[in-house]
Amino acid sequence: MSDFLSTGTLPDHYEQLAKTVRDFAQSVVAPVAAKHDAEHSFPYEVVAGMADMGLFGLPFPEEYGGMGGDYFALCLALEELGKVDQSVAITLEAGVSLGAMPVYRFGNDAQKQEWLPLLASGKALGAFGLTEAGGGSDAGATKTTAKLDDGHWVINGTKQFITNSGTDITKLVTVTAVTGEREGSGGQERSDSGNRPGKKEISSILVPVPTEGFTAEPAYNKVGWNASDTHPLSFDDVRVPQENLLGEQGRGYANFLRILDEGRIAIAALSVGAAQGCVDECVRYAKERQAFGAAIGTYQAIAFKIARMEARAHAARAAYYDAAALMLSGKPFKKAAAVAKLVSSEAAMDNARDATQVFGGYGFMNEYPVARHYRDSKILEIGEGTTEVQLMLIAREAGL
C-alpha cells in the first residue's frame, strides 16, 4: 500500500472519491453548516445526501450493501468533509467506524445480514456506547451490567457522551456491559489507562432502537460539534435476546479497543481536514483583507503563520496515510494510529487558533468557518482517546 504514502499521488479511484466528496462538501454541506451550528440542529438532509452517495457503506463489501472500498477511502471522505463541517464529518465517522464496524468485525452471519445493509445504506445510524460517567479513558471501569434471564440479556446502567444515539434514524446502539466475573485474579484486558487488575468480564451487546427501557436523554449543550447528535443514555431493565451478544462473551472490551485503534485513524483524517480547512480559509482571506494599504498576506508575520499551518496539515496527513497503509496491509498499526491521532488533533487545534488570529475580530464571530473550527477542534484532542491516552499508548509501544 506504499503507493499512496506520499500526498498528491493517490491512485485514480481514491482521487476521484476525494474530488466527489469535496464537491459535495462545497455545494451541499458548506451552505447550511453555519445554520445547523447556530440552531444545534441535526443535518438530516445532508446525511441523506451522504447516504445517497454511498458514504456510509464505503468500507463494507457489496454483499452487505457496501461500496466495496476500504478504510482509507472512508478517511479520504472524512478529510474532505472535515475541511468544511466537523459535525457532518463526525456523524459519518461515528456512523461507520463506531456504529457499523463493530458488527462487521465481530458480528456473526445473522447479525451482519440483519444490520449491515441497513447501516451501510445510511438510512439508519448505529452508535457505540463505551464511555460512562465514571470511565472514559478508563473504559474498563464499566458499571453497566447485563445479566442473562430466560434467554435474554437484561441491561441496566448509563452511558455518557454517545454520538448518533438519539437521532430520528438511530436504530442500533452497541454497548459494553459487565456480564460476569472472571475466575482467579486479574484477567481484565489492559485498558488504555494501563494494566489495571480486576475480575470484570465485559461483553458487547446489540441494542435495537427502540427497545423498552432504553432512553436517549436530552442532548448535551456542547462547546462545538453543535450539529452532531450526542446524548447520555440510560438502560433500565432493557431486555434483548441472548443472540444479541456481539462477538465472544468476555471479549467486548478487547474488541472495542480494536475498534478504537481503527477509529483513531479516521479521527486523524477528520482532524487533517479541519487543519487544512483552516489553511484554505486563511489563504483566501489573507489575499483579500487589506490593512495599512496592502493585503495582510503580504506581511511575513501572516504568511509565515499560514505556512506553518500548511506544514502541520501536511505532516499530519502523512501520519494518517502511514497508519492507514499499515492497517490495510495487515501490519501492526496501533502506534502509528496513536501518533496520527495525536499530531493531527493538535494540528487542527493549533491551526484553528492561528486561523482565528488571521481573521482578527471576524474570526471571533460564530458564523465564520474558522470560528466554528476553533470551537469544534478541541474535542479532537479528547474523543476516541485523549492526547494523554495517545501518549500512553506510544510510550507503551516504546517499551516504557
Ligand X SMILES: Cc1cc2nc3c(=O)[nH]c(=O)nc-3n(C[C@H](O)[C@H](O)[C@H](O)COP(=O)(O)OP(=O)(O)OC[C@H]3O[C@@H](n4cnc5c(N)ncnc54)[C@H](O)[C@@H]3O)c2cc1C
User: What are the grid coordinates assigned to 29, written together?
Assistant: 454541506
> Which one of residues 91, 97, 111, 131 is an interface residue with ligand X (CB under 6 A)?
131
Query: Is the CA virtual torsion 239, 243, 244, 248 positive or negative?
Result: positive
Query: Is the CA virtual torsion 35, 41, 42, 44 positive or negative?
Result: negative
User: What are the grid coordinates assigned to 151, written together?
Assistant: 434467554
> Which one of residues 225, 320, 321, 368 is an interface residue with ligand X (CB under 6 A)?
225
Residue 170 near residue 197 (C-beta atoms within 8 A): no
How is 90-145 classified by DSSP, letter by letter? Answer: HHHHIIIIIIIHHHHHH--HHHHHHHHHHHHHTSSEEEEE--BTTBSTTGGG---E
By rule CB under 6 A, what count of residues binds ligand X?
Answer: 25
> Which one of residues 51, 384, 390, 393 is an interface residue with ligand X (CB under 6 A)?
384
Report the site for ligand X in 88-107 (rule: CB under 6 A): 94, 98
Amino acid at 75: C
Residue 174 near residue 127 (C-beta atoms within 8 A): yes
CB of 289 to ligand X, least distance (A): 32
> Which one of residues 128, 235, 359, 374 is an interface residue with ligand X (CB under 6 A)?
128
> Which one of residues 162, 282, 355, 358 is an interface residue with ligand X (CB under 6 A)?
162
User: What are the grid coordinates assigned to 197, written together?
Assistant: 487488575
Rg for the chain, CA atoms, rounded: 21
CB of 13 to ligand X, least distance (A): 30
CB of 62 to ligand X, least distance (A): 27
> Which one of residues 33, 246, 296, 379 is an interface residue with ligand X (CB under 6 A)?
379
| 137 lies in the site for ligand X, by CB under 6 A | yes
Residue (89 or 286) nearer to ligand X, CB? 89
CB of 140 to ligand X, least distance (A): 11
Helices 86-93, 369-376: axis angle to 10 degrees equals 40
Query: Is the CA virtual torsion 284, 84, 13, 3 positive or negative?
Result: positive
62, 201, 384, 397: which one is catalytic? 384
Site string for ligand X, 44-83 (x = CB under 6 A): ----------------------------------------
Which pairs count as long-range contacts for 7-16, CB under 8 Å and 24+ apart, including other chains?
7/314, 7/317, 7/318, 7/321, 10/76, 14/72, 14/73, 14/76
- Which is nearest to 308 in space by CA: 286, 279, 330? 279
User: What are the grid coordinates assigned to 39, written together?
Assistant: 440552531
| 388 lies in the site for ligand X, by CB under 6 A | yes
Residue 271 near residue 348 (C-beta atoms within 8 A): yes
Question: Segment near ligand X (CB under 6 A), from 124-132, 146-154, 204-212, 285-293?
Answer: 124-132
> Which one of residues 54, 69, 136, 166 is an interface residue with ligand X (CB under 6 A)?
136
| 191 lies in the site for ligand X, by CB under 6 A | no
The CB-nearest residue to ligand X is 136
- Which is nearest to 56 in space by CA: 169, 225, 216? 169
Residue (193 or 215) nearer to ligand X, CB? 193
> Which one of residues 58, 89, 103, 130 is an interface residue with ligand X (CB under 6 A)?
130
Residue (161 or 359) nearer to ligand X, CB? 161
Q: Catalytic site residue 384?
A: yes
> Which one of residues 41, 121, 158, 193 is an interface residue with ligand X (CB under 6 A)?
193
How is 243-292 classified by DSSP, letter by letter? Answer: GGEESSTT-HHHHHHHHHHHHHHHHHHHHHHHHHHHHHHHHHHHHH-EET
Residue (68 or 208) nearer to ligand X, CB? 208
| Residues at the interface with ligand X (CB under 6 A) | 94, 98, 127-131, 136-138, 161-163, 193, 222, 225, 230, 379, 382-386, 388-389
Q: Which residues are catalytic?
A: 384
